[in-house]
Amino acid sequence: MVSIDLAELSVREANAQLRTLGEAGEVVEILNPDARHHIGVGLTAPINVNVQGSAGYFCAGLTDQACFYVSHNVGWGVGDNMYSGSVVVGGNAGAIPGVAIRGAEIVIKGNMGSRAGQVMKAGTLCCAGNANFMAGYMMYGGRIIILGDSGERVGEDMSSGEIFVAGNVQDLGSDAMLTDVDSKEIQSVHEFLDRYGIKAPKGFSKIVNAGKKLRYGTPETPMRSIPFNTFSGDSAYWNPKVQEDITVKAQSGRYRIRGYGGARPLPHLSDIGFRKDLTQAGADRDVVSKVRMATEIGGINGARPLKLSMPVMIAPMSYGALSRSTKYAIAMGSAMSGIAENTGEGGMSDAQRDAAGQLIFQCLGGRLGWNIHDMRRADALEIYISQGAKPGLGGQLMAKKVTPELAEIRGIPSGIDLRSPSRHPDILGADDLVIKVEEFREATGYEVPVSVKLGAGRIRDDIKIASKDGFDFVELDGMQGSTGAGSAEVIDNVGIPTLPAIIEAIEALEEIDARDKIQLVLMGGLRDGVDAVKALCLGADAVAFGTSVIVAGGCISCMQCHIGQCVTGIATQDPEHEKRYQPEVEASNIHRFLESVRWQIAAITQALGYDDVTGLNRDDLVALTPEAADITGLPYEPSMAAASREPMGALS
């Protein structure tokens, strides 16, 4: 047995030792833990760790195969996201024990805190004492065994899985119900308790999903879709789109869902122009080789940065909303152009990983597809807080889109109506977020950048928090960003537009003298290289494209992304529809689009008088509308509109 004394070593040093010892199959004793956070985070070897005392937050988090014993208490999130292996806690556990576990066994001998097993996917969480409120909140699968009392609202919004309670069931959560227990299940529970030396009680109540939510009596009437540009143009008050909405709502009695971006006219990058007349930009056919565009993102705190051939990356879009083939094509296209792809919510597929040169792995509140092994093969990690198109809201993937393959990657039962929660179980404030970021860094040896995706809301406060919480970069998403599915009212009416978002973000960072402490990637309705250059002038370090990449790769903008029967094979999981999509062909289309972006960035940068994109600055811009002047503080020069509207004459 090897001893590691935390009175002498930091947790970071101890975890590095544990990883080495784990490969040697040692038994390790942790002395003087004194409730420190992150003990054992990121272990992926069959090692036995005995913690002599209490552990803090995320003990045994993001692990696979390891077996932990903690003699006293643990803080929040014990066993976070654990695959296989076990944790036995001799004392009490704080909030969210067993959060997002994917197969591990977690046993708490004392009492456990609120929201036990939140968004867990598989495995068993057992508490010999009493549970606090909302045990099993939003669980997707697996089993919770509570030998004491259940706490209030047990099984709140659980999708699947079972909760067995031996004590008093205080009250049931929303969409949870009591059901009969069969003897086989009891036998299995008894076997589990035997294995951990816990005396089995006489009987159990069993709680499962009642299946009453997320089921709509009347489906939306299928209509012939109206192309986006038909209704978003110079729309009259009662245009065909408004009439269609009313007709559909008259049948369904609820709000409409759609995909794609907002249609409401809002101040945007098209309302600002360049100070110089750029009508001759791009006359130099060799401009791409003459302007330095290579950009590093994420390395400012010592992590290995993303190396982009130009200050552009792909915006996060999920495998789930999009088909596997589409994510594969985007990965290939991004690699051909030397930029980074982003997994979005739905986890990482092997094909996508192999095809993408650089891949950002995104972590959302449901922890769908999130796991230590894919974290290790990602080039950057990203905590999603919200998105510009529907800030503060969660999502829902209809059962039809939850195919067996998709379910496996996400770690959930296939064919369930899948709710994506709007918030993280373990990030309820900036203070928790610090501890979460540190967990990710521990799990990946401090090697890869960690970013935060923020839908523009209270940007001034949020961006300062992001900087203080030690993120390497922020992906800031404005209201003009798209979504795979959202309420039509929200898409058009909720959020902060991209233009004020970047202005406020830069101002806020300057206020706390932190402009060089965090990098900023802007997205949200950016369409081409012209928009990209404007964003860079305003202070972004890079930009990200989502919708325009999808359109480059075959999207016809019909806005029916949420239905799951995309005719182009993009926003679907139906193999018959997906067959129409040719990833290799679309990857080339995406690549060509990205190269057109490169050309535009180079041509405008050169025309503005620079040979490096880092030279771009605010003084290169003017406002073309009074609103844009007010938002940006740029001089109002409407006379520059003509020159800015068609800046790429020589390129067309």
Partner 1 sequence: MCGIAGVMYRGSDKDFDTGEALIRMLDGCQHRGPDSTGFALYAPEASGRLKLRFFIDPESDADDSAAIAAIRQRLMDLGAGIEEEARAGDNYRVTILYDGDVQKLSYEMEHAAKVISIGTSLEIVKDVGSAHDVDDRYHVNQFHGTHGLGHVRLATESDVKPEASHPFWATGFADVAIVHNGQITNYWKMRRRLEQRGFEFTTDNDSELIAVYLADKLAQGIKLQDALSTSIDDLDGTFSFLVSTGDEIGYAKDRLAAKPMIMYEDDDLVAIASEEVSLNRLFPGKALNTREPAPGTYATWSRSI
Question: By the criterion CB under 8 A, which residues form the site for partner 1?
Answer: 7, 31-32, 34-37, 52-54, 56-57, 71-73, 75-76, 91-92, 94-95, 113-114, 132-133, 428-431, 434-435, 438, 461, 464-465, 468, 512
Q: Give the residue with the Cβ less far from partner 1, 265 or 429.
A: 429
Sign of CA dihedral 239, 241, 243, 245: negative
Q: Would you tell me how many other CB atoms lie within 10 Å of the CB of residue 323? A: 27
What is the spatial distance between Cα 31 and Cα 380, in angstroms, rounded to a whole number? 33
Measured from the CB of residue 261, what is the shortest distance to partner 1 in angstroms?
Answer: 30
Q: Where are the beta strands (DSSP E) in 335-399?
A: 340-342, 358-363, 380-384, 395-397
Helices 11-23 and 430-443: crossing angle in degrees, nearest 10, is 30
- Do 347 and 322 contact (CB within 8 A), yes or no? no
Q: Give the residue with the Cβ less far from partner 1, 98 or 525.
A: 98
Full DSSP string of 284-316: STTHHHHSB--EEES-TTSSPPEEESSSEEEPP
Q: Give the residue with the Cβ less far from partner 1, 135 or 189.
A: 135
Measured from the CB of residue 33, what is the shortest distance to partner 1 in angstroms?
Answer: 8
- Do 255 and 501 contact (CB within 8 A), yes or no? no
Alpha-carbon distance values, 226 to 82, 229, 483, 530, 644 (Å): 46, 8, 18, 28, 31
Measured from the CB of residue 560, what is the shortest distance to partner 1 in angstroms?
Answer: 38
Measured from the CB of residue 515, what is the shortest distance to partner 1 in angstroms?
Answer: 16
Length of the chain: 652
Q: Give the residue with the Cβ less far from partner 1, 283 or 428.
A: 428
Measured from the CB of residue 90, what is the shortest distance to partner 1 in angstroms?
Answer: 9
The encoded tokens of residue 465 equal: 């928090």
Q: Give the residue with the Cβ less far from partner 1, 54 or 572.
A: 54
Q: How many helices (H) and strands (E) does the chain have?
A: 19, 27
Stretch (H or E) spanning 103: strand 102-108
What is the spatial distance between Cα 151 and Cα 113, in angstroms, rounded to a whole number? 10
Q: Give the residue with the Cβ less far from partner 1, 54 or 326.
A: 54
Q: Give the residue with the Cβ less far from partner 1, 380 or 435.
A: 435
3-state secondary structure labels for all residues of 153-193: CECCCCCCCEEEECCCCCCECCCEEEECCCHHHHHHHHHHH
Rounded to the nearest 5 degrees, what angle is found at the Cα of 80, between the Cα atoms of 353 and 205? 120
Q: Give the residue with the Cβ less far from partner 1, 92 or 209.
A: 92
* DSSP-derived secondary structure letter, 220: P
Q: Give the residue with the Cβ less far from partner 1, 55 or 82.
A: 55
Measured from the CB of residue 430, what is the shortest distance to partner 1 in angstroms?
Answer: 4
Measured from the CB of residue 172, what is the shortest distance to partner 1 in angstroms?
Answer: 18
Measured from the CB of residue 456, what is the shortest distance to partner 1 in angstroms?
Answer: 17
Q: Give the residue with the Cβ less far from partner 1, 409 or 508.
A: 508
Measured from the CB of residue 34, what is the shortest distance to partner 1 in angstroms?
Answer: 4
What is the spatial distance between Cα 126 and Cα 107, in angstroms, rounded to a whole number? 5
Measured from the CB of residue 76, what is the shortest distance to partner 1 in angstroms?
Answer: 7
What is the spatial distance between Cα 105 and Cα 536, in angstroms, rounded to a whole number? 49
Residue 602, amino acid: A
What is the spatial distance between Cα 45 and Cα 23, in angstroms, rounded to a whole number? 6
Measured from the CB of residue 428, what is the shortest distance to partner 1 in angstroms?
Answer: 5
What is the spatial distance between Cα 319 and Cα 346, in angstroms, rounded to a whole number? 5
Q: Give the residue with the Cβ less far from partner 1, 152 or 637.
A: 152
Measured from the CB of residue 467, what is the shortest distance to partner 1 in angstroms?
Answer: 11
Q: Give the residue with the Cβ less far from partner 1, 90 or 615.
A: 90
Q: Which of 520, 514, 517 shows the shortest CA–CA distance to 536?
A: 520
Residue 340 has φ and ψ, to the nearest 5°, of: -100, 145
What is the spatial distance between Cα 100 and Cα 334, in angstroms, rounded to a whole number? 31
What is the spatial distance between Cα 189 and Cα 204, in angstroms, rounded to a whole number? 10
Q: Which of 329, 399, 257 shows the shortest CA–CA distance to 555?
A: 329
Measured from the CB of residue 205, what is the shortest distance to partner 1 in angstroms?
Answer: 22
Q: Give the residue with the Cβ less far from partner 1, 34 or 584.
A: 34
Burial letters 104-127, b for 16+ CB under 10 A, else e? bbbbbbbbbbbbbbbbbbbbbbbb
Q: Which of 585, 338, 359, 312 shows the shortest CA–CA distance to 351?
A: 359
Measured from the CB of residue 113, what is the shortest distance to partner 1 in angstroms?
Answer: 6
Q: Give the residue with the Cβ less far from partner 1, 56 or 259.
A: 56
Measured from the CB of residue 350, what is the shortest distance to partner 1 in angstroms?
Answer: 36
Q: Give the residue with the Cβ less far from partner 1, 377 or 460.
A: 460
Q: Give the residue with the Cβ less far from partner 1, 454 or 532.
A: 454
Measured from the CB of residue 362, what is the shortest distance to partner 1 in angstroms?
Answer: 23
